Every structure is written in C-alpha cells, then in structure tokens.
Amino acid sequence: MIRQLRPAAAGLALYLFIAIAVLGCAFPGNSAVTADNAAVSVERMAGITDDAVKEIQQAADAATGFFGDNAGLRLKESVTIVLTQDRKSYIREIISRFKISEPEAERVSLGTHALAGNRLIIVDMSGIPTVRQKTFLIAHELTHQFQRQLAGNQAGQVKWLLEGMAETTGAQVVARQ
C-alpha cells in the first residue's frame, strides 16, 4: 500500500525536487549572486592542524558558493563547523553541544563522520582522509543547513529526499572543484 504524504510534506517534497533540479543544472557562475562565505566558521578542537582547518573552510566556501551560484541562496544565519580529532572526541562534542546522553550520541552517530544540527556541524576528522571526501561531507552537511533554512522543522519529513539532495549536492560540489 502506498502511503500518501500529508499536504505539508508533499509541498516540501515538491519544493526540494525543484531545488535539486535547479542545482543539478550546470549554470555558469553569476558574479552578481554570491554566497555569504563569512557565514560559515570553523572551530578546531585539540589535535586539529591548520591545514585541516583550511581544507574544511575551502570546502565550506565551495558548498556555499555552489548554492549562491546555482540557486541564489545564502545562509541567513551563521553555521559553525566543529572539527574533532577522533571518534572519542567526536562523541564527546555531540554530547556536549547537542545536550544528549552518551548512549543517544552513540546511536545517532553510528556510521557517521559528521552530524548536523541547528547551525552546527560536528566532524570526526579521523574518518575523512582525502580533500575530496572532506569537500563531499561538508557540502552534504551544509545542504542540510540550507534545507532547514528553507523548510524549517519540516525539512526532515521526507528522509530519502533530504539525504538524496545532500548526496547529490556533495557530489556536484566535488565535481565542480
């Protein structure tokens, strides 16, 4: 049996489908429409190198530039990317920043190297060794920030579309570089 989406979820699905279609087109960059790259800041925890911070900032700039160039979107509020050295510090930051228990942090982070919340992205740098992987991951997570900005609490209503758009955007940002 096919389950019908509620009208709000259907509207969100249609909007996100249109956004994917727009982002999927290869438009030349429009210098009159740029992203607010200053809206993304990188915070490093112990053990994170200057080079790692630079790579992540470049990935964030590429992702926000992609949204600006292709859809005219800018982040309206600042986003902080927190870089952690390993899985243990990643879990510790998830617990601290998202105010959840250790078992819950273990559960929500299972199989991930980054977790995004409201204007916050926490990254386990030990799990993403190449620049391409870092760019993909940061573009993916910043896509979720744009989705929340556009759709608010309804952004997560259609999980396959939420994650599909983030995966598509991550791949396109990497390809663009």
**Rounded CA gap, 77 and 103, in Å?**
30
pLDDT digits (tens, 9 = 90+) for 118-152: 899 999 999 899 999 999 999 999 999 999 999 98
Q: What is the pLDDT of residue 122?
A: 98
Q: What is the pLDDT of residue 143?
A: 96
pLDDT digits (tens, 9 = 90+) for 74-116: 999 999 999 999 999 999 999 999 999 999 999 999 999 999 9
45-59: buried (b, 16+ CB within 10 Å) or exposed (e) per residue? beebeeebbebbbeb
Report all structural domains of the chain as residue ranges with CATH numbers, in order of start: 37-176 (3.40.390.30)
* pTM reported for the whole predicted model: 0.79
What is the arithmetic mean of pLDDT over 41-46?
96
Q: What is the pLDDT of residue 17?
A: 42
What is the arithmetic mean of pLDDT over 54-61?
97
Q: What is the pLDDT of residue 22?
A: 40
Q: What is the pLDDT of residue 33?
A: 29
